Amino acid sequence: MSIRDFQIKIKNDLFVSKLNELVSQGIIKDIIQVAKDALLNEDVIDVPPVLVKDLIKKSPDLFLFLLSWIRNNGRPRNSAHVLGKMFVFSWFKLKKASVLFENKENLNSMFWEESIKKYITNDVNSLRWLVSPKYLRELYLSTEKMWDAFYSNLPNKWHPLNDDKSKIYLQYQSFSENSSLSLEQANIYFEYFFTILRSERRLLYFSQRRYLNDKFKDYNSLDGLEDTNRPWDIDHIYPKSWKNNYERHHKVKQPFINDWIGTNGNFRAISLTDNRSENNLLSPGERLDSPVAREQAFITDKQWSYWSKLDKATRKVYMDNAEGNKNFFYAIVTRILDIYEEFWNTLQLDKLMD
């Protein structure tokens, strides 16, 4: 039963009577607690409650489906698969989650172990076409082809699939209901997907979940679903003011920088206090010099190999310096892919894509 179905049924006296009976017996409360336990997964993954709260608020049909499934089957066996499907459906834009209610077989005991590929179709409301992190690393990091495309501001920079033998294209073709999927259409699907990797803040929060859980215990809870003031900032690792000052002084725009500076790859969640104490004069290398700061921000060693080279000495010449630009590009793209791979591996998405 979807939210829309519930809104219709709540007008029926018999339905209301049965609902009151479930409430009075504590059954609904118990089901909701099982759902919360599955989504928080405190023993293994330890999902920040703020992400669970966000899921309940923004994807109520999905949460209602989980409650219905628990009512039929009890406690899920594999919480990682529950999280994987719930977050993928919510964050990667399954626009009509009510489709899950249309087939009663989805309430079977093995639903959370079943592949999500059947929800990836050509329909505009279907799930975005996910790609293995391994294939993304081959595309963006194994050669300098993508760096050249963005630094040269080529018109097809967001449509990188130009070979019908490429692994991503072949994977997309396996999703498609149409075996003659064109490269042009595949590139459109890829851009939709990669836009989510660049801009979906919940992926960033998931990668920094240990920091959010440790630093913001009082705020980070499921007590109430109302909005409250978030106690952290989304900070630019490479300061936006550096870009703005350069463009204002030289009266030019930097499309290459603008493509990436406002993405997950250049963002980190940081407490309001820590962010206010930092100065925009600090370079990325200085901001992340401490191993603790890197761990909190989910800065991997590979990311650091690029961020560390963006120091204060290069600030004034950075925009005109190809080597500096290359470090900027690879720091951010590597970070975007690391964040996605953390999500993919932790929630065992490879098993859900079989």
CA distance 216 to 220: 6
Place of tokens 């500096």: 324
pLDDT in tens, 312-345: 666 544 556 778 889 999 999 999 999 999 999 9
Q: Do 324 and 216 have their domain in common? A: yes
Chain centroid to Cα 249, Å, comes to 35
CA distance 315 to 246: 10
pLDDT in tens, 60-73: 888 888 888 998 89
Q: What is the pLDDT of residue 292?
A: 96
CA distance 292 to 102: 48
3-state secondary structure of 236: strand
CA distance 28 to 35: 11
Residue 306 lies inside a defined structural domain of this protein: yes
Q: What is the mean pLDDT of the chain?
A: 84
DSSP 127: P
Give the CA angle between residues 282, 283, 284 to the nearest 5°.
125
Is the four-CA dihedral 128, 132, 137, 138 of positive or negative sign?
A: negative
Contact 71, 107 (CB under 8 A): no
Q: Do 223 and 188 have their domain in common? A: no
Residue 351 lies inside a defined structural domain of this protein: no
Q: In the predicted model, what is the mean pLDDT of residues 115-143? A: 87
Chain centroid to Cα 223, Å, comes to 24
Lowest mean pLDDT among 31-40, 135-144, 215-224, 270-279: 215-224
Q: Which domain holds residue 149?
A: 133-198
Contact 93, 196 (CB under 8 A): yes
Q: Do 177 and 218 have their domain in common? A: no
Q: Do 152 and 85 have their domain in common? A: no
pTM of the predicted structure, to 2 decimals = 0.89
Q: Do 173 and 225 have their domain in common? A: no
Q: Is the pLDDT of residue 247 over 90?
A: no
CA separation (Å) from 291 to 48, 208, 330? 22, 15, 20
CA distance 170 to 190: 12
3-state secondary structure of 271: strand
Count of structural domains within the chain: 3
Half-sphere exposure of 172 (CA within 13 A, CB side): 26
- Residue that finishes a domain, picked among 180, 198, 216: 198
Give the CA angle between residues 81, 83, 87 to the nearest 5°.
120
| Residue 8 pLDDT grade (very low, low, confident, very high; cuts 50, 70, 90) | very low
Looking at the chain, the number of H-run helices and the number of E-run strands are 21, 2
- Residue that finishes a domain, picked among 37, 72, 91: 91
pLDDT in tens, 27-81: 777 888 898 889 988 888 989 988 998 888 888 888 888 888 998 899 998 888 9
Q: Do 273 and 208 have their domain in common? A: yes
* Cβ neighbourhood burial of 282 (10 Å; 0-12, 13-18, 19+): middle
Q: Do 218 and 287 have their domain in common? A: yes
Q: In the predicted model, what is the mean pLDDT of residues 266-283? A: 86
Amino acid at 199: S
Which one has a higher pLDDT value, 275 or 268? 268
Q: Is the pLDDT of residue 182 over 50?
A: yes
